[in-house]
A and B are shown apart, each in its own frame.
Chain A
């Protein structure tokens, strides 16, 4: 096991006098999918934003690729998908992909290949020339995910990527995420779908501004003496 791709140590974050994150310790290793679960408002998105350097930490340290964030250059190696579909409505899916590809610094010669691959994974190839304003909610979500996948980044940070996506396509996406992991790339993913939490390498349960539990799903289930991650989640919340 090499150096951790993401390394959060004693991370704290306050918004005004509201303490959202108290003491977060979290690592993501190369070739690993880490799932971040927790009740709504627990601070999952905040962890991601601090990791990316979009919010500044009130305490502790956030390192990505062994470099303290925020760091602009590193962003080119990270694929980020926000919780909201941030897309340009008046542009087509293809134009959105190309624009963000350019911003990520993908070379012109690789652009077409990258765009086509990303579109294929999310099953959008047929709708690429449609304007985003004419997309359905799920299509927007898929386009948003495709943008994150562009350029085969070494680290993917996905904030609830599968909301509004049908089961068949969700399975297809998870297969792709598995392939990415097998290539040695890393993924940090938040989700409210507990079935998905079963599929990750390690699960971090965020509660009360701290990581309550952080281990492989099987280990967690054993620790809590329950059959599913969903039960782990409910038990942890109930116990608290």
Chain B
């Protein structure tokens, strides 16, 4: 009952603070719009591709594609040097029948452009090859037909003069042989070119992997970041204000339980986080057109748990701050490192001990979970591990908070 009372009061205060409220809901939308514009509009960047032992035809075909320039190198080493000098964005090397592609991948849109250009060029050349093969075989058939006709004429002519019958039979035999050979040859040619049209392509990335830098990959983390950031800051400030204005003391001078205060805050900020997450999810789906494969409700649930962790964190840290300015000082200490370790930057490329730090970052777990839901459609019930870790964070922090309030009232 008291818990509900505290929840109502906190919500009332929150909804009267129009500016903070607007910031909570509008800022994430603006930032995400901005990011999607930045990450998606530069698809017309010019790329240059270095090729090694790639056929003249393919080079020409690729060079013909808009925004793509092709430079041919004699060895892979030369090409690599050019890439290091940032002269080329990707290297295509032919090994026998197969292709090996190396992307600098510092700009994901460039990588995507090269991929597309190469695929198109490859298809175009193999179609050309097929065409020419087809032409050749039709030419052969035409020739054969002509030969056959000539033969028939000859036959008709010679049938009258049976004297030359023997030689005619020999000619017929020779013609049939030739036809068989040409036919075999042309079919051979055709099958050869058709097997050439599906060479194996292997992709290598100098930096990161195929997922690097995509807005879609960042989205789950961003979503979590907004929820975490705002709930952490606003709840921390709210409790700080309760403490400095003395309302906390006054509250604790009533028979209210310490846990009721903490739970009351949790409920109210939980409500806020649910609304915020829904707004963010709807923005991303409708405004930015990002596909959510899994269930949106699951996304909301994960973010709700994250919000509660952020709340508990905010309340805990607010006890170490004596002013709102000191509360702000926790942002570079608590919030920024979370972003680094949350998966926006690929963790594989980090040293092991740095990777270990990421295990204590709540944002990592929510990011992983939401990522799975949005991109792979994973069910929330298969994300037990991430959820469990988040819940452990939540429980530990909540207990610390309830006990921590003892500083202000001894029972």
Contacts from A to B (Cβ < 8 Å): 52-56, 70-76, 78, 80, 82, 84-91, 95, 99-100, 102-105, 147
Q: How far is the CB of A49 from chain B (nearest CB, A)?
A: 8
Q: When A70-B409, A70-B411, A72-B411 are in contact, do A54 and B16 touch as well, CB less than 8 Å?
A: no
* B257 with A72: CB separation less than 8 A: yes
Query: Which residue of the partner chain, among B13, B246, B248, contacts A91 with CB atoms under 8 Å?
Result: B13
Name the distance in Å between B8's Cβ and chain A's nearest Cβ: 8
A73 to B409, CA, bound (A): 13
A72 to B252, CA, bound (A): 9
Find out whether the CB atom of A70 lies under 8 angstroms from the CB atom of B410.
yes
Please name all residues of chain A whose beta carbon is closer than 8 Å to the beta carbon of B17 when the two chains form the complex: 90
Q: Which residue of B lies closest to A76 (CB)?
A: B255
What class of interface size applies to chain B in its complex with A?
20 to 34
> What is the CA–CA distance of A78 and B255 in the complex, to the nearest angstrom?
9
Knowing A80-B250, A84-B245, the reply to whether A53 touches B255 (Cβ < 8 A) is no
Contacts of B409 in A (CB 8 A): 53-54, 70, 72
Binary CB contact string for chain B from 379 to 411 against chain A (1 if under 8 A, 0 otherwise): 000000000000000000000000000001111
CA distance A195 to B2 in the complex (A): 40
Contact partner, B247, options A70, A75, A87, Cβ 8 Å: A87
Q: For the complex, is B156 an interface residue (Cβ under 8 Å from A)?
A: no
Verify B9–A86 contact, CB threshold 8 A: no
**Interface residue? B249 (CB, 8 A):** yes
Closest to B258 in A: A72
Q: What would 17 A/B residue contacts be, using CB atoms closer than 8 Å?
A: A56-B410, A70-B409, A72-B409, A73-B255, A74-B255, A75-B254, A78-B253, A84-B245, A85-B246, A86-B247, A89-B245, A91-B9, A91-B13, A103-B5, A103-B254, A105-B2, A147-B250
Which chain B residues in 223-261 approach chain A with CB under 8 Å? 245-257
Extra 11 A-B pairs, beta carbons < 8 Å, given A91-B9, A103-B256: A54-B249, A54-B252, A54-B409, A78-B253, A82-B250, A84-B245, A86-B246, A88-B247, A90-B16, A90-B17, A95-B9
Task: Please tell me if the beta carbons of B12 and A91 are within 8 angstroms of each other in the complex.
Answer: yes
Say whether A104 contacts B254, CB under 8 Å.
yes
Q: Which residue of B lies closest to A87 (CB)?
A: B247
What CA separation (Å) do A99 and B12 show in the bound complex?
A: 11
Q: Which of A70, A87, A102 contacts B5 (CB 8 A)?
A: A102
| Chain A residue contacts of B6, Cβ below 8 A | 103
Residues of B within 8 A of A99 (CB): 5, 9
Cβ of A54 and Cβ of B255 under 8 Å apart? Answer: no
Contacts of B2 in A (CB 8 A): 102-103, 105
Decide if the interface of chain A is mainly helix, strand, loop or mixed: loop
Q: Assess the A105–B12 pair: CB atoms within 8 A.
A: no
Please pick, from A71, A76, A86, A105, the residue contacting B411 in the complex, using a CB distance under 8 A: A71
Give min CB distance, A45 to chain B, whole Å: 11
A86 touches B13 (CB 8 A): no
Bound Cα distance A153, B247 (Å): 19
| A105 surroundings in chain B (CB, below 8 A) | 2, 254-255
- Collect the chain B residues with CB atoms within 8 Å of residue A82's CB: 246, 249-250, 253
Inter-chain contact A72/B5, CB cutoff 8 Å: no
List A contacts of B5 (CB < 8 A): 99, 102-103
Contact of B254 with A54 in the complex, beta carbons under 8 Å: no
A72 neighbours in B (Cβ, 8 Å):
255, 257, 409, 411
A91 to B16, CA, bound (A): 9
Task: Give chain B residues whose Cβ lies under 8 Å from the Cβ of A80.
Answer: 250, 253
Residues of A within 8 A of B1 (CB): 102
Contact of B254 (CB < 8 Å), options: A53, A76, A89, A95:
A76
In the docked arrangement, what's the CA distance between A85 and B246, Å? 7
- In the assembled complex, which residues on chain A have CB atoms less than 8 Å from the CB atom of B252? 54
Question: Cβ of B13 and Cβ of A54 under 8 Å apart?
Answer: no
By beta carbon, the residue of chain A nearest B253 is A80
Q: Which residues of A contact B12 (CB under 8 A)?
A: 90-91, 95
Closest to B1 in A: A102
With a cutoff of 8 Å between Cβ atoms, the chain B residues found around residue A71 in the complex are 411
In whole Å, how far is B104's beta carbon from the nearest beta carbon of chain A?
Answer: 54
Q: Are A54 and B408 in contact (CB under 8 A)?
A: yes
Contacts A90-B17, A91-B12, A95-B12; A103 near B411 (Cβ below 8 A):
no
**Bound-complex Cα distance A91 to B11 (A):** 11
Q: Which residue of A lies closest to B251 (CB)?
A: A103
**Cβ contact within 8 Å between A100 and B13:** no
CA distance A103 to B251 in the complex (A): 7
CA distance A95 to B16 in the complex (A): 13
State A100–B5 Cα separation when bound (angstroms). 9
Contact check: which of B250, B257, B408, B410 meets A86 at CB < 8 Å?
Answer: B250
Q: Contacts A88-B247, A103-B2: A52 and B253 contacting too (C-beta < 8 A)?
A: yes
**Set of chain A residues within 8 Å of B246, measured between Cβ atoms:** 82, 84-86
A-B pairs with lowest CB-CB distance, top 9: A86-B246, A86-B250, A76-B255, A103-B254, A70-B410, A102-B5, A80-B253, A70-B411, A86-B247
A20 to B13, CA, bound (A): 37
> Interface centre among B1, B12, B410, by most A CB within 10 Å?
B410
For B325-348 the 0/1 string (1 means CB < 8 A from A) is 000000000000000000000000
The answer to whether B410 touches A53, judged by C-beta atoms less than 8 angstroms apart, is yes
Given contacts A54-B252, A100-B250, contact A88 B411 (CB under 8 A): no
Docked Cα-Cα span, A100 to B248, in Å, equals 11
CA distance A73 to B247 in the complex (A): 19
* B88-121 CB contacts (< 8 Å) to partner A: none
| Chain A residues within 8 Å of B411, by CB | 53, 70-72
Hey, which chain B residues are within 8 Å of A54, CB to CB? 249, 252-253, 408-410
Q: Which residue of B lies closest to A99 (CB)?
A: B9
Within 8 A of A (CB), among B110-159: none
